[in-house]
A and B are shown apart, each in its own frame.
Chain A
Amino acid sequence: MNKSVKDMLKAGLVLFLIAGVCVGLLAVANVFLKVEEPPPVLDLDTAQKLAAVCPTGAADENALDYFEIFDVKGAGVDLDAFNLDESGMVRSAFHRADNQTPKDRVLEVYRATKGENAGSLVIKAQAEGFEGGYVVMITAYRPGPVLLKTRVFSNEKQSFLRRITEEELDAFYAGKQVSALDGKFTHSGVSYSAGAIDKALRMSNTLIGRLEAQGGRRA
């Protein structure tokens, strides 16, 4: 082996060792300096929207006292894994590393702590609709699980969504046993947005089924 090859190998080895030491240092730093995501906070606006699907019997301005963020993990369901499974994305070790988030996913689960529907859960889920935009639905469930009511929480780029009325949503979903719901929610002329509503509700229905099976309402 001539001198220049030896020098090259030595240079590569030294760089490799330096990189190794640096990686070790960063690993230690990451343990002590990792920034935790702040816990989600329930605001009054959201609480009032929750009260619209899960009536509390109290005035709207007190809605914040009637709901809390539900600990899904504590109830035995891993929401990240659930979202990956239900969104139809191929699960792989790279999803987490790449920070890929499925577009169709359950965003949050809330629980009514007191009032008319104490113990009911409200699931906020989003699904992709027209032109890559989304529809976010909030759906309340009584034990059973019985779908109490569902409403559009927010949307993006769904200009025809207003054609779907609350009466239509109630006629299709409200007051029905989840296991008895069949068929797709459709609406002529608003097919993409209606499809998104259907997807979001399917995800919510599946999740409430799992939570009920785990006895999760008490978590």
Chain B
Amino acid sequence: MNKNELKKAALGGLLQNPVFVLVLGTCPTLAMSGTLANAFGLGVATAFVLICSNVFISLLRKVIPDRVRLPGYIVIIATFVTVVELAVAKFFPALNESVGVFIPLIVVNCIILGRAEAYAGKHGALPSLIDGVSMGLGFIAAISLLGLIRQGLTLAGFGVFSQSAGGFIIFGILMALFNLLIDTVKRRNRRQLFRAGTGGKQ
């Protein structure tokens, strides 16, 4: 694997942000971003499962026959989710109480199965680890930002933002801003490359 691909995997969490660009895992994102603590807790739990399952699946990618890859992936993901569920119940009972059913539901989080299918099943352990860390951090950042803004607005007296409808509004605005920012950066980079290629002549 060349440096370029590793760099691409490392930047995946930003350029291909699972929440704002790929629009995966929207259900838990909206449901658990009412407060920063819940959002961050679920983000870390999801990131852990994503990293572990990515590495495990990439290690087994040549062993798992194609026709049973999805059941195989689900078994692996469910195992790590159970480990996370046990750990959260033991060490963070308050988080376990508030996040509740969304921890077991990480099993069906599209981000994890999506990365397993699109990346870990086709790449080696190291790039898959990098992809998992990058996507995990991207998810934590996105859901925490959403949680921070929603909690702030709720505390400021706008109770609607603690509800799903308010969550959708913030989610939409953030998604638009994020994509606008990414597009602007990409366009500027392209222009600079073009200028460098033409020696600055139009």
A residues whose Cβ falls under 8 Å from a Cβ of B: 7, 10-12, 14-15, 18-19, 22, 25-26, 29-30, 33-35
A11 vs B82: C-alpha distance when bound (angstroms): 24
Residue contact B90 to A35, C-beta cutoff 8 Å: yes
B residues whose Cβ falls under 8 Å from a Cβ of A: 60, 63-65, 67-68, 71-72, 75-76, 78-79, 82-83, 86-87, 89-90
A25 vs B89: C-alpha distance when bound (angstroms): 17
Residue contact A18 to B83, C-beta cutoff 8 Å: no
Q: Given A33-B86, A34-B90, A25 and B65 touching (CB < 8 A)? A: no
Residue contact A29 to B86, C-beta cutoff 8 Å: yes
A65 vs B76: C-alpha distance when bound (angstroms): 52
Of the A-B pairs whose beta carbons lie under 8 Å apart in the complex, a sample of 16, sorted by A's number, is: A7-B65, A12-B68, A14-B68, A14-B72, A18-B60, A18-B64, A18-B72, A22-B75, A22-B79, A26-B82, A29-B82, A29-B83, A29-B87, A33-B83, A33-B87, A34-B86
| B78 nearest CB neighbor, chain A only | A22
| B79 nearest CB neighbor, chain A only | A22
Q: Given A7-B65, A7-B67, A35-B89, A15 and B75 touching (CB < 8 A)? A: yes
| 6 tightest A-B CB contacts, nearest first | A33-B86, A22-B79, A11-B68, A11-B65, A29-B83, A33-B90
**Residues of B close to A26: CB separation below 8 A:** 79, 82-83
| B93 nearest CB neighbor, chain A only | A35
Q: Given A30-B86, A33-B83, A35-B86, A22 and B64 touching (CB < 8 A)? A: no
Residue contact A15 to B83, C-beta cutoff 8 Å: no
A11 vs B89: C-alpha distance when bound (angstroms): 34
Q: Given A26-B82, A33-B83, A14 and B75 touching (CB < 8 A)? A: no
Residue contact B72 to A15, C-beta cutoff 8 Å: yes
B65, B76, B90: which contacts A10 (Cβ < 8 A)?
Answer: B65
**Residues of B close to A15: CB separation below 8 A:** 68, 71-72, 75
A35 vs B89: C-alpha distance when bound (angstroms): 7
Q: A11-B65, A29-B83 are in contact. List 16 more A-B contacts (CB 8 A).
A: A10-B65, A11-B67, A14-B65, A14-B68, A14-B72, A15-B71, A15-B72, A18-B60, A18-B75, A22-B75, A22-B76, A22-B79, A25-B79, A34-B86, A34-B90, A35-B86
